[in-house]
Structure 1
Amino acid sequence: MTEIVKLNASVKGEGPPLILMHGLFGAGDTLGGVRRRLAPDYEVHSLDLRNHGDSPHTDSMSYLEMAADVRAYMDGEGLEQAHLLGHSMGGKIAMELALMAPHRVADLIVADIAPVTYEPHHDAIQQALETLDPAAVRSRREADAVLSQYIAEKGVRQFLLTNLIPAQGGFRWQMNVSGILACYKQIMAAPMADGVYEGPTLFIRGGNSDYIQSSHQDAVQRYFPNADLKVIPEVGHWLHAEKPELFARVCHRFLAGAT
């Protein structure tokens, strides 16, 4: 295992601690809409996960390592226990931490991901990121034109370009693109811990997303015997961005114990 890294984070609100974990190619602000809506009732910790945002770059991204990063963050903040909410890759990290150290997790929300290994499905994004030389472009529009050769969806391109920041007359990636792509197989993997988390757990699926399937039910029940599933209709994998009010309301209801 690589060394534990000290994660960058922002903290908003007051109340019981709630840790937010973003998905692949994101950062703490990716879940900003959730943070804003839950901060009135919770102390919300928005993390930049390793190789993302302002957190350190590493050459390994196993879920055991990334969950250990989050546990170390909790230790550093004096959080004996916290609510966890993770989307996609962040959801797998949240699951790993709950399996690794269940006593540290008050309850668990997993947004549109299952505790299984996924087949590679980011080929177009990988090609786009490998093609774009951020130091060679002079504007985000120029960078977007490069990405558009591979990625048709404007929203996906805009999301990736949130990682592009000015640097010495050009731009640079804030995330560790080469490290992430090298670790892609680790990111697609299932949780690695052997434990079971018996605390309250909520999986939230986007109605138009295929990330959580009926064939995943056995794996969910094996690891999380007290799991419930909520479906948000007419949204895809980015459910927290497509219907932020409804997503936050589902999370708040669960966290308040009113599921």
Structure 2
Amino acid sequence: MKESNLNYREYGTGDPVIILHGLFGMLDNWHSFARKLSENFRVFAVDQRNHGKSFHSDEFDYDILAEDVSEFMADMGLPQAHFIGHSMGGKTVMKFMDLFRDKVMKAIIVDMAPRSYKGSHHLTFDTMMTLDLEKISSRTEAFELLRSKINDDAVVHFLLKNLTRDKKNNFRWKANLDSLWKNYDKIISEIRPYPPFTNHTLFVRGSNSDYISKEDEFIISNY
């Protein structure tokens, strides 16, 4: 086993499970869940490129993200794994299932269908990218500035997990916002398996979420 290019945290022993977060997310979002899951599995929570503590890159699409996961598995000495992917991470898992299906044992896709989506993050990108971090002195101040434009405390707290300090103690975003915005059309694009995936796959929809609709069930049946 060698070092991985992707930042990750490992928990427990047993059959391997790889967890992939969503847009603006990071492995820390899954810490409590991963600890519980590690009672029965060897769990890897992973920061995808341009997120968390993983490297930044101008190149960003689902083929590339799937390749990253394949390389991560090779680095960890994993011939196969179970997968859990949320939102954008769910589409990474779907693309991985298409390109590297022999490496997938079972998969759970959380709150994401294979179809393309209308862009719904424009306000989030604009608010984060126009925030003058050099003039912010505290996380409380950052919260108030974000909250003045984004009318949801939970979303603002989630986004603030991306706020950190550099070596000079200045605030910066962990996420590579420039690359994510430049590649946003790719992030919301569709994923289709060719041919359909035949292993066990579970799609989970949040009870108050509209990310998976009744009409999506036909597309999902290919998985």
TM-score, length basis structure 2: 0.94
SS at match of 1:114: coil
Paired residues for 1:46-65 under 5 Å: 46-65=45-64
- Superposed CA RMSD in Å reads 1.3
Deviations 1:153-193 (A, max 9, x none): 11111111111112324311111111111111111011265
Give 1:227's aligned residue: none
SS at match of 2:216: helix
SS at match of 1:91: helix
Deviations 1:59-78 (A, max 9, x none): 12211110110011001111
Deviations 1:229-258 (A, max 9, x none): xxxxxxxxxxxxxxxxxxxxxxxxxxxxxx
The amino acid across from 2:17 in the alignment is L
TM-score, length basis structure 1: 0.82
Deviations 1:35-89 (A, max 9, x none): 0110111110010001001111111221111011001100111100000001000
Larger relative contact order (C-alpha < 8 A, sep ≥ 6)?
2
The amino acid across from 1:19 in the alignment is I
2:83 and 2:106 in contact (8 A); partners too: yes
Deviations 1:170-228 (A, max 9, x none): 31111111111111111101126534210001011011110001111221113x1xxxx
Give 1:126's aligned residue: 125
Paired residues for 1:84-103 under 5 Å: 84-103=83-102
How many percent identity over aligned positions? 36
Aligned length: 219
Moved more, 167-176 or 96-105: 167-176
Work out the CA distance in 2 between the residues paired with 1:47 and 1:15. Answer: 17
Give 2:170's aligned residue: 170
Task: Say yes or no: does 1:32 pair with 2:31.
Answer: yes
2:94 and 2:193 in contact (8 A); partners too: no
1:20 and 1:46 in contact (8 A); partners too: yes
